[in-house]
Structure 1
Amino acid sequence: MQYTVVQSVNPQFVIRDTTGDFILGILDHKGTVAYIYPNLNETIFSFTVNDTSPINRTQPFYHSTGDVTLRIRRANSTDSYKEFSTTDAYGGAARVVEVADSLIAYDITSLLNPGHGLNITRIYKQSTDRHGGFIIQVNVTNTQAYAQQLGALGMSMVFNNDWSGLDLNTTAQHCSITEPYIGQDNAWVKVTRISGEGPTLLVLPYGNGGMNAWRPLLSDPTVRSATFEGFYEYTFLADAYRMNEWKAVPDERLWTLTDSIVLQPGASVIYGLHMRLLPSVRDVESGLAQMQKLVVKVVPGYVVGVDMGNVTLFVLPGRYKISKINVSNSAIMDISNTSAILTSGWHAYQLYPRIYGRVRVIVHYSDDSALEYRQVVSMFVLPSFRTHIQTFGEFNAKYQWYDDPADPFGRSQSIMPYNWHSQQLILQESRSFVVGLSDESGAGPGLGFAVKNQYAPESDQVHLLDLYINNTLFGSKGPSKYVPFETRVQWRDYTVVASTFWYPGMPGYNYTITDGWDQKRANTTWRSYNYVHPTAIYYSLYRIARDNPNITTLQTWSWYLMQAYQTYVAMVKFAAYYSQFGLMVGSVFLRVLDALRIEGYVEEFQKMLALEQTRVSIWQSLPFPFGSEFPWDSTGQEEIYLTAQYFGLYNLSNSTLQAVLAYTHSIPNWGYHGAARRFWDYVYNGCEELNDGIERVLHHYGSGLNALPILHAYDLNPDDIYLLEVGIGSITGPLTNIQLSGASSMGLHGDPRKLIHDYWDADYGMAFYGLASLQSAYAVNHTILGEAVCYLCDLTLTGETNVWNVTPRDAFHRRVYIEPLGTAFSLDAGMIESIVVNWHAQSVVIVLSAVKSPVPFTVYRLHVDHLASCNARTACDLVIVSPANPPVVRGAFEIAVQPYPQTMSVKLKWNGKYD
């Protein structure tokens, strides 16, 4: 069937908004949104898809914001729901109708195929509240003589997130990123320019506008790819989907419980959305507060451990009255019956995490109309984070260690990918890189295991890691009886192969696959990314050997450091192309560079420094150096930001941070909070049993990696609490990818038909590198709450808050940041048991945990890093007074280890000012 569409964009309205007036354009034949220009002079960038998009507008796709899809059946029946959509019958046209106080209104009934027994009107209004913006609402009336059940209703949110065929600069100018908060009656959607520049479009419920789901519009035939995630629907009612497409998903996995509504004959219901501008991506909470809407946050975040004693739900009621708060499963987490009301107006409710699992915290509230509303906060309870990562390491050692000398691809003595669902190693795969010890999925398990032991070493695990490095990563196997060809991950010239596994042609091997890279392709060494992971693995062993001299390793610490250095040099020499962009895990190069300087390798340091400066000069020449094998990637920013900071290129680091915050958000939902936007990774690395194409990946390795620029920026700017809240999500969210057993996953499937972790661990090791690198406890004076709180720690206040007692609850207990001092206290080995800050006495006492025999290290190595600029809030002259005059070696204070079970206390004093 051929469709003809008249592409008139008429009328156009100037929308009043306190952030700045903007322009709304309407597609007249459909009555949907054509464009939303963020100011009166803008004609290039639109939040919604505009005519510059490559989307074909001559087909019945979801072309614009506002298309309505619904499912309906006779009430009190077991009939199947019938689906109707305004994308069904493009032969019809919307008809303008008169509606009082509207900008314009359309009867859109004729756009749906017949048989629904409804009349539907779409109405646009200028918001009458003082904040401005516009309302788009849908009025649904039952025209039948019998009651009907409306089981699904949603409105398409077609924002400009398709950059197919666009270069990086054009993408930055034209495209946007959309992120939902699936929070029931107080949900929202944030639409941000991809560069991170303001303003930001905020989509809020209006009337009966609560969100049951953020539904991918899978029926839309627009080709989804690495450049196009697909469009979504703001779903008001979702019971019909819950009964059908989503029926395999247990209730505890759902973000919200779904709703339907019964329409009596002649009855109408209104569902609407309020769209307004905010100055920046950071301003959702302040914008909601200004509108007197309910605002919620949880400290320390939405992923918590059972040992955390200070988990608190904070609610700012606005114009509403809180009637009750309950938790979907009180066995997993409970809540106090009463709240404390802070001087800042926030209500504080204590939460009690008990056992592993997902829960919904549901805030019930009402307004002057006596209507009852619900806001859902989604949380995940883990074991203590410390226990959780120990289980992860143990699982790697016990179940993922592959020791089979008969493996013809030379993979014996390595950490192999694992399928937690089938409980089996993954040894064959048509995507050869997944099982070939290189690329992100092949190298990921080994990298995660190495980083875990860098921060929490176990001698037996270190031994396995050492065997992997010496016998497999840099070792040669074959030709021999079992390995007919010489196989290596890394050759003697330090080049790194694409995969040690290949298809076809291995003599005598029982292949169960029918496709894959051949031997020639598998042996290519041009991919820059493949060099980063071995570098990071070598660096981890260098740190383990250097900081834990009592743990036996097969080589000296200097050997591992030189391996890391030579691998970097080989990348620049043999695989330079992609190094023009930031590389995931690329921040490890700065660590290697710093180690060369500290250890006195002057020649190597100077050479690597010059090579890094050359790479940085390329980034400086590009307005948006955020590409990769995929356009506008969200993983190279970690390296670009930190390297720019290292070289003092603050314009570059600031623009990079801004881009990171465009796709990494603070959202009251454990799956989305701090989850850097990713959507193509299951296609390349995921389990095919769950993979049916492009899909939102929650807490993929982009989360952990992007925590590094965010938290680094917070350390330098501790007044910027938004950075801390987002960063905490990025370092805790990926911990949910580790199961109770210790098996890991590459990410959570965001499709509401699944909401399950992928069966494969794949590239999770990169996420673990990110979450581990700045894993910290943060004790802060919260500028919004107006109160001292602890992120990933417990905080006890004594002496009318003159004394802070801080107990770390993060994964490693090796780093604590005290915000009023702008200072991080960290260890190279061992753990911090507690920190006591006496504000009146101007002292800090650090209690270092006792160490059981066999003691892996000979001295504690304590770093005291004053990171924030000196000002009236921070102390700049912290000095150790006990023990007296500890030696400083390689940039750290060295303090003797005491016999078990004695702890060791270190006391510091300062003379600066504090609040």
Structure 2
Amino acid sequence: MKINIKYSVSALLFLCSTLTINAQGYWDNIKQKKATLGITESDSILSFETPDFQLKLVKASQTVAELRPNQDLNFDFTPSDRLKIRDKDGLYHLGDINLRIKSVDGDWKSYSTAKKRVKVTPIKVSGNILSGADLANTLPKDIPVTIKRFYEVIENQLVLRFEISNKSASNIEIGALGIPMIFNNILEGKSLTETHAQNVFFDPYIGLGAGYLEVKKLSGKGPVLLVMPKENMDFEAYRPLLDDPTRRSIVFEGFHEWMAYSKAYAEKEWKGVEQWNKPTSLMLKSNETKEFSLKFVLSKGVKNIQETIVENGQPSAISIPGYVLPKGVDSHLFLNYKSDVASFEIEPKKAIKIKKNGLTEKGVKKYTVCGNKWGRARLTINYKDGVKQTINYKIIKSESEVIKDFGHFLTTEQWFNEPDPIFKRNPSVISYDYETKKQLTQDSRAWVAGLSDEGGAGGWLAAIMKQLVQPDKEEIKKLEQFVDHTLWGNIQYSEGKHKYGVKKSVFYYEPDSLPKGTYRDDVNYKTWAAWDHKHANDPGRSYNYPHVAAAYWVMYRLARYHKGLVDNRTWDWYLKQAYHTSVAMLEQAPYYSQFGQMEGSVFLYLLKDLKTENYTEMALDLEARMKKRANHWKELDYPFGSEMPWDSTGQEEVYMWSDYFGYNKKANVTLDAILAYMPTIPHWAYNGNARRYWDFLYGGKLSRVERQIHHYGSSLNAIPVLHQYRKTNDLYLLKVGYGGLLGGISNITQDGFGSAAFHSYPTELRIDYLSGDYGSGFYGYAVNSATYITKDENLGWLAFGGNLSVKKEVIEVEVTTAAKSKVYIAPKNLWLTLDSGTFKKIIYNLKTQEVKIILNKKDEFTPDAYLRVNKEVKLPYTKIRGAFKIPLSKKETIIKI
């Protein structure tokens, strides 16, 4: 099987409800506009060379035409390939500026250099200044300020500087000042190979004077561009430029601007929304002049960003285990900056506790930070030299409490058991609207109300995956009913030619064949997404199958390794169902199964269990089928697309199978691409946040293209990142992966509702109100939750998922994860996993190298623990199916390795 996957918008966007456009029509709304940028004239480009970049400016506008790193002149950070299309009024370019200004008694008025293009007036420059211009011509005559813009080289770094003077006779207030960050994230019309070579994604650290923007190639290779504050440009807010007419879609996430002041927006468009930073403004006196500048710095690579920040004299912050803080966990904050801390501010008050712990051996300031009050919290660090840094945390309940509440909500509030004779969705865990506090039984998107695809299967998948983490007998009873009456035989075919096939949806729209009143009048069913019965019954969408396979696999694990948790079926029935479902995906959904699947790692977990149970024929068959897929991916440059032109859906499975079959080069290509858009940033929303930006269209209530905060990509792609960490002990991977892992549960509410994702736009900054496709993300948390113990040469001993103490030569870690079933000790490369039973504490003696494992006491359903060790060890217990069977007692059990 060898398929050349080269995507075009015309071939793919027909799948998307509001994005039914083709490559030719994508730019029609822009091409009709008059060209005003001035690039059609002869001698229209100015060229400059700096120590790091080849910079080109449009002569007429003096906006950036190209920005190429000297070490890779074939690559441009800006969308220069679209310059001849984007040469119209209203389209932003790097070098533009947006302002909102008012007099003392006036109203805010907006100004933008992008709105109406007119030739700017060049300024004669000398010395380190490359180019300068007075921007008056491109601004309205009533603007009360003069604005001059300069490109210069300061200390060998490229600097973009604006000089703003109040020319009026009275004081004015600047309530918004933003510089558009225009880099090449327009993917339209390109193949995966082209996008990874030519395009970038960018991630913000909205951290005031310590803030920065990181701009990275999609491949994850090559230098990283860091935009950093130089003078009076604290990173206060990050505003989407929704007025830029470049069409946002699955091939274009949109542009944003770096805002130094945002009060004017907070008073109007963002009113009532708690922003990442306190919105501020600037009072500019009559005839007063202020300068505002950013610098452009190159970092060697993705993993060198923090190192580059420190080298450039900017505050660096690292939080272990991250910026999502479960209660009861001691996190550690490391600050690396030349100036001492003058004070801390905490908002809301007492939301967190912070205590100084001295310095590390390398002189880095160390603090203990503990979450105290559920919700968002902002820590402002005031340095003695006047620099302010903010770190946004998310405080959640302890992991055990979060998961307990989540399971309860799913099996009560989302438990649907009303009569449903037409669609037969009862009993099940159904989609939920948290805003109305109602179950979602009808939606114009058939799958959302139809228990299938990601947006509809999310509820029941999450409820079953929760049992892998924290089994609950009463919840499992309900899920057994779901399996017997709804999953097997309704969502999944139980007989006929499509046996084991999974339907696209059990809800459908066919009003002419059903009783009047079946459908609500207030739902718009006149869209492509309101599938009729025939389309809803189609088993050809492979993305539905991993949900079902995962459900069977979890029930197998519960039945096999516990006593009395599962009563309706035997463990082997569930295991065989998982196998047959996996095979059915390849046979009945061959087109889409050429791509990596979200939760596709479950097929690998299933394969390992088939081997453990000596189901040799099934194991060999499944492995051979999966190897065909992996061989196909091996032949592709970037083998992790989907039906979309670019996607982060497939990386998890592609990496896991590539690694399993020893295709290390392809596994590394996949991992590099993951790290390109899954950053480690001192902000809970962006740390470990895998890029997803169109799934609100398909699973959200507020349906739009928008960077999603901790959508399912965060925790799914934490699977390969943490897997690779256990192979390399690279702390960077652990920070990124754990950020995604805890990010995966950060959007669960206090009462246990799991949202599709969090809205990043400053008009909302809240969860989406639909449960949507959250289940796929929770799968990533459920299979990947673990405690990590490591030592870093700069930061010392660290624990992720546990509270660590050092007593002379003894390291003790109290396990704080919800599952308490996996522990990795990095210095010993020791990976300990439990099929049943739970870890309480790990004690590691550095002198004797002994590891002492303390297991929690038995419960009604767990008389025995089953321990797996990744190394050959001798223990006084019988091995069953590769695991040590350890009888538990009413007291803790101690094991020594």
Q: TM-score range by the shorter chain?
A: over 0.9
Distance 2:402 2:421 in 1: 32
Matched-pair contact (CA < 8 Å) for 2:38–2:61: no
1:321-332 matches, within 5 Å, as 321-332=340-351
Matched-pair contact (CA < 8 Å) for 1:737–1:757: yes
Matched-pair contact (CA < 8 Å) for 2:834–2:865: yes
For residues 192-215 of structure 1, give each alpha carbon's deviation from its aligned partner in whole angstroms, at most 9, with x where no partner exists. 011111111111001111111111
Residue in structure 2 matching 1:440, options 447, 450, 454: 454
Structure 1 residue aligned with 2:68: 37
Structure 1 residue aligned with 2:706: 695
Cα distance change on mapping 1:518 and 1:54 into 2, 3 Å: farther
Matched-pair contact (CA < 8 Å) for 1:430–1:514: yes
Give yes or no for the alignment of 1:66 onto 2:71: no
Letter in 2 for 1:98: V
Structure 1 residue aligned with 2:867: 862
Structure 2 residue aligned with 1:904: 893
Other structure's SS at 2:824 match: strand
Distance 2:186 2:739 in 1: 27
Matched-pair contact (CA < 8 Å) for 2:91–2:115: no
Matched-pair contact (CA < 8 Å) for 1:157–1:231: yes
Other structure's SS at 1:570 match: helix
Other structure's SS at 1:828 match: strand
Matched-pair contact (CA < 8 Å) for 1:525–1:575: yes
Residue in structure 2 matching 1:6, options 14, 19, 38: 38
Other structure's SS at 1:794 match: strand
Distance 1:147 1:896 in 2: 78
Other structure's SS at 1:362 match: strand
Cα distance change on mapping 1:165 and 1:263 into 2, 3 Å: same
- State the 1:402 CA deviation: 0.7
Matched-pair contact (CA < 8 Å) for 1:474–1:491: no
Structure 2 residue aligned with 1:260: 281
Letter in 1 for 2:344: I
Letter in 1 for 2:37: V
- State the 1:54 CA deviation: 7.8
TM-score using structure 2 length: 0.93
Matched-pair contact (CA < 8 Å) for 1:542–1:561: yes
Matched-pair contact (CA < 8 Å) for 2:361–2:794: no
Structure 2 residue aligned with 1:46: 76
Letter in 2 for 1:176: V
Letter in 2 for 1:733: G
Structure 2 residue aligned with 1:28: 59
Structure 2 residue aligned with 1:788: 797
Letter in 2 for 1:586: G
Residue in structure 2 matching 1:117, options 135, 144, 149: 144
Structure 1 residue aligned with 2:8: none
Distance 1:403 1:487 in 2: 21
For residues 258-290 of structure 1, give each alpha carbon's deviation from its aligned partner in whole angstroms, at most 9, with x where no partner exists. 211011111111111110111101111111122
Structure 2 residue aligned with 1:519: 533
Distance 1:740 1:806 in 2: 27
Structure 2 residue aligned with 1:773: 783
Root-mean-square deviation (CA), in Å? Answer: 1.8
Matched-pair contact (CA < 8 Å) for 1:61–1:222: no
Distance 2:549 2:199 in 1: 35
Distance 1:716 1:566 in 2: 32
- State the 1:491 CA deviation: 8.0
- State the 1:96 CA deviation: 3.6
1:721-760 matches, within 5 Å, as 721-760=731-770
- State the 1:328 CA deviation: 1.5
Give yes or no for the alignment of 1:86 onto 2:113: yes
- State the 1:343 CA deviation: 1.7
- State the 1:330 CA deviation: 3.2
For residues 778-801 of structure 1, give each alpha carbon's deviation from its aligned partner in whole angstroms, at most 9, with x where no partner exists. 11112331x112112101111x2x
Residue in structure 2 matching 1:223, options 230, 247, 254: 247
- Residue range with higher mean Cα deviation, 463-472 or 3-12: 3-12
Matched-pair contact (CA < 8 Å) for 1:99–1:105: no
Residue in structure 2 matching 1:175, options 199, 222, 233: 199
Give yes or no for the alignment of 1:273 onto 2:284: no
Letter in 2 for 1:903: E
- State the 1:41 CA deviation: 5.5
Matched-pair contact (CA < 8 Å) for 1:846–1:905: yes
Cα distance change on mapping 1:40 and 1:729 into 2, 3 Å: closer
Cα distance change on mapping 1:305 and 1:299 into 2, 3 Å: same
Structure 2 residue aligned with 1:644: 658
- State the 1:895 CA deviation: 0.4
- Residue range with higher mean Cα deviation, 565-574 or 345-354: 345-354
Cα distance change on mapping 1:489 and 1:698 into 2, 3 Å: farther
Matched-pair contact (CA < 8 Å) for 1:326–1:335: no
Letter in 1 for 2:336: L
1:192-591 matches, within 5 Å, as 192-250=216-274, 254-308=275-329, 310-317=330-337, 319-336=338-355, 338-367=356-385, 372-476=386-490, 493-505=499-511, 506-512=514-520, 513-515=523-525, 516-591=530-605
- State the 1:685 CA deviation: 1.0
Distance 1:488 1:356 in 2: 45
Other structure's SS at 2:411 match: helix
Give yes or no for the alignment of 1:622 onto 2:636: yes
Other structure's SS at 2:778 match: helix
Distance 1:55 1:360 in 2: 43
Matched-pair contact (CA < 8 Å) for 1:487–1:500: no
Other structure's SS at 2:626 match: helix
Structure 1 residue aligned with 2:13: none
Cα distance change on mapping 1:758 and 1:29 into 2, 3 Å: same
Matched-pair contact (CA < 8 Å) for 1:473–1:488: no
Distance 2:246 2:657 in 1: 38
For residues 318-371 of structure 1, give each alpha carbon's deviation from its aligned partner in whole angstroms, at most 9, with x where no partner exists. x223211222123321222x441222111112223222111111111143xxxx
Cα distance change on mapping 1:138 and 1:488 into 2, 3 Å: farther
Other structure's SS at 1:597 match: helix
Other structure's SS at 2:555 match: helix
Cα distance change on mapping 1:476 and 1:205 into 2, 3 Å: closer
Distance 2:84 2:479 in 1: 50
Cα distance change on mapping 1:339 and 1:604 into 2, 3 Å: closer
Flag structure 1 segments of 5+ consecutive residues without an equivalent. 478-485, 867-876, 909-915
Cα distance change on mapping 1:140 and 1:245 into 2, 3 Å: same
Matched-pair contact (CA < 8 Å) for 2:120–2:133: no
Cα distance change on mapping 1:63 and 1:71 into 2, 3 Å: closer
Distance 1:454 1:358 in 2: 28
Matched-pair contact (CA < 8 Å) for 1:824–1:864: yes
Matched-pair contact (CA < 8 Å) for 1:536–1:564: yes
Residue in structure 1 matching 2:848, options 822, 841, 849: 841
- State the 1:225 CA deviation: 0.2
- Identical-pair percentage: 34
- Residue range with higher mean Cα deviation, 97-106 or 419-428: 97-106
Matched-pair contact (CA < 8 Å) for 1:155–1:234: yes
Structure 2 residue aligned with 1:140: 164
Letter in 2 for 1:887: T
- State the 1:9 CA deviation: 5.3
Cα distance change on mapping 1:733 and 1:102 into 2, 3 Å: same
Cα distance change on mapping 1:74 and 1:895 into 2, 3 Å: same
Give yes or no for the alignment of 1:811 onto 2:818: yes
Matched-pair contact (CA < 8 Å) for 1:410–1:488: no
Structure 1 residue aligned with 2:16: none
TM-score using structure 1 length: 0.91
- State the 1:509 CA deviation: 4.2
Residue-pair matches, total: 854
Other structure's SS at 2:623 match: helix
Flag structure 2 segments of 5+ consecutive residues without an equivalent. 1-32
- State the 1:815 CA deviation: 1.1
Matched-pair contact (CA < 8 Å) for 2:494–2:500: no
Other structure's SS at 2:745 match: helix
Distance 1:604 1:662 in 2: 37
Distance 2:643 2:107 in 1: 45
Distance 2:172 2:389 in 1: 27
Distance 2:294 2:35 in 1: 30
Residue in structure 2 matching 1:717, options 728, 744, 751: 728
